[in-house]
Amino acid sequence: MTDEPIHTPLLMLDRVARRYVQGEATVDVLVDASGVIEAGEVVALIAPSGTGKSTLLHVAGLLERPDSGEVWFEGRPTVGLSDAERTAMRRNEVGFVYQFHHLLPEFSALENVVMPQLIRGLTSSEAKSRAKDLLSYLGLGARLQHRPSELSGGEQQRVAIARAVANAPKLLLADEPTGNLDPTTSAHVFSTLIALARASGLAAIVATHNLELAGTLDRRITLRDGVLVDA
């Protein structure tokens, strides 16, 4: 008899707690939150504002350390890693998209996508080639040299998506990525984001208030009283 291989999820939150002190009060945002994200799985995180969605994404993406519990990435515990190790893991394995694009205004769309690749160590030619491919895939092939102020809101957010996946991360975390866009543009950007995630084979957690868009993903999760549950 041969032993079956042990299954290792891409991301596992194990009884994660996160709390903040406000004046004399302590606010428990995450309370024994546990959950698993598989490689290639695209999950919607839906919950009202103020329930801890952003905190959950920050902990999952190693931007914040939990007060207790563990965050496992490909079977590796991360809470005890040094700041330098956590930074390297974020840079190489995790991509972030926020509600506001946070593009560098003095640089072109192409340069914004090239920059994280140069930081990782790719050559300029390699970085430019991948940036052009990503931006073209997202429908921005004719906008490579435009600065953020010369792009529409939807175009800016698509550049931000390209930047988030430029280093071929294994996990994409998107925090209300279409929250600042009108409904038509929102639907287009959302579908583009999901298509890119699926084409790249990466896992994604997408926080959104849009239940219709959330229903198109593999499954939905939510936060109830600081606990992560299926929606």
Domains of the chain: 11-230 (3.40.50.300)
- pLDDT score recorded for residue 100: 82
Count other C-beta atoms under 10 Å from residue 147's C-beta: 16
Give the Cβ contact number of residue 201 at 10 Å.
Answer: 10
The H-assigned helical ranges of the chain are 53-60, 83-93, 109-120, 124-137, 153-165, 183-200, 211-214
State the pTM of this model. Answer: 0.88
Tokens of 3: 């032993």
Residues of the chain with pLDDT under 70: 1-5
pLDDT at 115: 93
Helix 183-200 vs helix 153-165: angle between axes, to the nearest 10 degrees? 20
* Residue-wise DSSP of 175-197: ESTTTTS-HHHHHHHHHHHHHHH
What pLDDT was estimated at residue 113? Answer: 96
pLDDT for the residue numbered 2: 53
